Amino acid sequence: MRPILAAALAAGLAFAGLAASTAASAAPGVSSTKAADLPAGAYVLDKSHASLTAKLSHMGFSNYTLRFTKFDAGFSYDPKAPQASKITVTVDPASLETGAPSFNKELIGDGWLEAGKYPTITFVSTSVDVGDGVHGKVAGDLTFHGVTKPVVLDVAFNGVGAGLAPGSTRTGFSATTTIKRTDFGVSKYAPLVGDDVTLAIEVEFTPK
């Protein structure tokens, strides 16, 4: 009986170890910071874990920061051809938020964003440079205030791993770029109010 009990105990321990290993690998959080480990497919934005802010100089006194509260994004990805990835972003300029309702209204109106006339800001990628697999660049066309110009985003791949929902996958990125608002026809008070506008993007995606 002893050999049978020993074998059963060994099998039980092995199974427990396998179960613990499987549970650990599926623990929520980032499991890899290598873009090559991101599964192929289409991804959609988790809007509850995303932010888009814009920062510009206010007469040299501060770097004034505002936020767009309504935007969407998606991308397609194949680890075998990451340079072929396609990224699209849409932003509602009327969702601009400064914390002051009257100032919001001013900035989305005449002389500034003119959201009634130009109700959508879009970005569509034209090329992807994966760089070192963690830090890369995404070039694309930004359409803002009725004008389309090429821009380049500096992108950091933050990682991929399991979400809180069992069996779910989640990935995240950070990105920045700087544009000149006068290039897009928004020139009010420039250069007293900064021409350079720095955009900062924090996004998380889940498979479509």
Same domain (yes/no): 16, 40: no
Q: Are residues 122 and 98 in the same domain?
A: yes
Q: What is the pTM of this model?
A: 0.85
42 shares its domain with 68: yes
Clarify whether residues 26 and 43 are in a common domain: no
Are residues 11 and 70 part of one domain? no
Residues spanned by the domain of 127: 33-207
Q: Does 16 share its domain with 61?
A: no
Give the integer Cα–Cα distance in Å for 182 and 60. Answer: 18
Tokens of 31: 């499991």
Residues 191 and 125 in one domain: yes
**How many domains would you assign to the chain?**
2
How confident is the model at residue 22, as a pLDDT? 40
Phi, psi dihedrals of residue 28, rounded to the nearest 5°: -60, 145
Same domain, 107 and 13: no
18 and 116: one domain?
no
What is the CATH classification number for the domain harbouring 150? 2.40.128.110
User: Which residue, among 175, 185, 186, 135, has the nearest Cα to 151 in the 3D structure?
Assistant: 175
Q: Are residues 48 and 150 in the same domain?
A: yes
Tens digits of residue pLDDT in 11-54: 443 444 433 444 445 699 999 999 999 999 999 999 999 999 99
Task: Give the CA radius of gyration of the chain.
Answer: 23
pLDDT for res 109: 98
